[in-house]
Amino acid sequence: MIRVLAALLSGCLVLPGLAQARVPVSVRVSPAAVRAAAPMPPALVRPGIPFASSLPPAAVLTPLPPVSAAEVASAVGALGFVAQAAPGVPAAPAAEAKAELDRSWEGSIRRIVVFDPETSRETRLDLVRQAGWTVIRDLWLVNAVAVSAPARSAAELGVDLMASPEVARVEEDARVDWVPEKPQPERARRGLLGWWWQTVPWGVKRLHAPEAWPVTRGAGIKVAVVDTGVARHRDLKLAGGASFVAGEEWWQDGRDHGTHVAGIIAAQDNDQDVVGGAPDVELYSVKVLDKDGKGTFESVIAGLQWCVERGMHLANFSITHPTGNDVLAAAVKAAAAAGLVMVAAAGNTARAVQFPAAYPEVIAVAAATSWNSAADFSSFGPEIDIIAPGVGIPSTVAGGGTGKKQGTSMASPHVTGLAALALAAARGLLRGYAAVRRALQAAATKLPDTPDTWQGAGMPDARKLVGFEIAVLDLSDNVSSKQTNPR
């Protein structure tokens, strides 16, 4: 009774019956697509939903198969890289790897040694060890090995490595900040009322996600939050994860950043706290940044490699770096070729778009206010693909309850949630970053009086994304049409 009364007062409790009743879903299906598609799995059909019942039985959705080792190797090989390790092959025995990680953290010099694609994994590891470096991790996705050495000997060791004909180049690596403070930080306040009822955040409503849920809530789509980790929280259901932060084997959130991002994507639809844009996705925490928001290129690329290895469909990067580097660019390209769809925060600099968002294979997201304008801190440029709510965003916080945050870090997971809905609604017909980007943009409406460099195609609408006309766009051309800023 208290819950119902509270809901009437706040107007924001989600009652499944009501949510379904107000959904106008118009569906157009091309005959060719119907012929090409297989029956919709019963689990995805919710009884009484116009979408399901109005479609011919053969209209929708074959299960999206996980990316196999052979597919990854083939896709990566097509780029000139050689994938040396099949999924599940550890880079080193666990005890050895941990000992090396512990030794290699503070007070050392780090490098990423990139080899010619023909070089085998064993040769790569042998060469760096013979040169006196400590192996941190084999980055098979880009034919590289991340290494470290005491600062006083690193310069001399670097010369030795470059003398090897198998070594293509050696990149510097360091522990740097990937989560810069926001220009006007909002204090995260724990909402006590979340114990008694659920609030649908304004961003989720603005993108019309609840009206798409009768079609799909993202079930079956694997989404990785590549971030500071995700905390245990009563409103978050994690399917798994991994940590690539030295000395921290668990994927808990040390900074209360990844937890907030995760809630925007997939906070549970229950009677507590908030609800994400795609509450039924399989959510994974890929921890690449420590409690200070800092990490190395090695840790970020290792997280990306894990996403490819484990067959993630989507990865959210609410993390930014001002320049990126060649190895990260290669890793992003290889992951995209393997089928991973990457969505990233544009940055909060009010200047050029940051990385990885600025890479052509990544969907770059700007931040909007609730007044239908771009946020003044949002990074801008020709790389911006789309805009989503990023100011005054309530979501799950570490320690329990909810709090508000702002930034393109909050805008990106809104788009990741919608991309998950689109993939779930169009399984087997929507594949690859370029197709997902095109679907998002086709479902977007531009904000008034806002330059394209600040908003891309505008704000996407989940109702259009799960409509079948989006899914049967001509998706054969997977070449990026994204403009890039020559910097």
- Residues identified as active-site: 227, 257, 409
Binding-residue pattern over the window 248 to 267 for Ca ion, x denoting contact by CB under 5 A: -------------------x
| The one segment of 99-107, 172-180, 268-276, 464-472 that binds Ca ion by CB under 5 A | 268-276
Classify strands 238-243 and 282-287 as parallel, antiparallel or unpaired: parallel
260, amino acid identity: H
Q: How far is the CB of 280 from Ca ion (least distance, A)?
A: 12
Nearer to Ca ion, 20 or 270 (CB): 270
| The one segment of 270-278, 317-325, 456-464, 476-484 that binds Ca ion by CB under 5 A | 270-278
Nearer to Ca ion, 201 or 347 (CB): 201
Query: Pick from 173, 211, 227, 235: which binds Ca ion (CB under 5 A)?
Result: 235
Nearer to Ca ion, 233 or 463 (CB): 233
Specify whether the backbone of 100 is left (phi greater than 0), alpha (psi in -120 to 50) or beta.
alpha
Mutual angle of helices 326-337 and 69-78, in 10-degree steps: 130
Q: How far is the CB of 241 from Ca ion (least distance, A)?
A: 20
Query: Pick from 104, 148, 228, 268: which binds Ca ion (CB under 5 A)?
Result: 268
Q: How far is the CB of 199 from Ca ion (least distance, A)?
A: 8
| The one segment of 46-54, 130-138, 233-241, 245-253 that binds Ca ion by CB under 5 A | 233-241
Q: How far is the CB of 316 from Ca ion (least distance, A)?
A: 19
H or E, element range at 112: strand 108-115
Query: Pick from 100, 211, 273, 290: which binds Ca ion (CB under 5 A)?
Result: 273
Nearer to Ca ion, 243 or 272 (CB): 272
Q: What one-character-per-residue DSSP string does 15-71 give?
A: -HHHHHHT--------HHHHHHPPPPPGGGPPTT-HHHHHS-TTSS----PPPPHHH
Specify whether the backbone of 370 is left (phi greater than 0), alpha (psi in -120 to 50) or beta.
alpha
Contacts of Ca ion in 58-77 (CB under 5 A): none
Q: What one-character-per-residue DSSP string does 264-288 give?
A: HHH--SSSSB---SSTTSEEEEEE-
Classify strands 314-317 and 222-227 as parallel, antiparallel or unpaired: parallel
User: Nearest 5°: phi and psi at 117?
Assistant: -60, -25
Is the link from the previous residue into 50 a cis peptide, with omega within 30 of 0?
Answer: no
Nearer to Ca ion, 198 or 228 (CB): 198
Q: How far is the CB of 235 from Ca ion (least distance, A)?
A: 4
Query: Pick from 62, 270, 369, 480: which binds Ca ion (CB under 5 A)?
Result: 270
Size of the site for Ca ion (CB under 5 A): 8
Cβ neighbours around 153 below 10 Å, total: 13
Say if residue 95 is exposed, middle or buried (CB neighbours under 10 Å; 0-12, 13-18, 19+).
Answer: exposed
Q: How far is the CB of 100 from Ca ion (least distance, A)?
A: 41
Nearer to Ca ion, 336 or 462 (CB): 462
Sequence-separated (6 or more) residues with CB below 8 Å from residue 16: none
Residue 258 CA to residue 289 CA, distance in Å, equals 9
Residue 179 CA to residue 321 CA, distance in Å, equals 8
Q: How far is the CB of 211 from Ca ion (least distance, A)?
A: 18
Nearer to Ca ion, 270 or 325 (CB): 270
Binding-residue pattern over the window 193 to 232 for Ca ion, x denoting contact by CB under 5 A: -----x----------------------------------
Positions that interact with Ca ion (CB under 5 A)? 198, 235, 267-268, 270, 272-273, 275
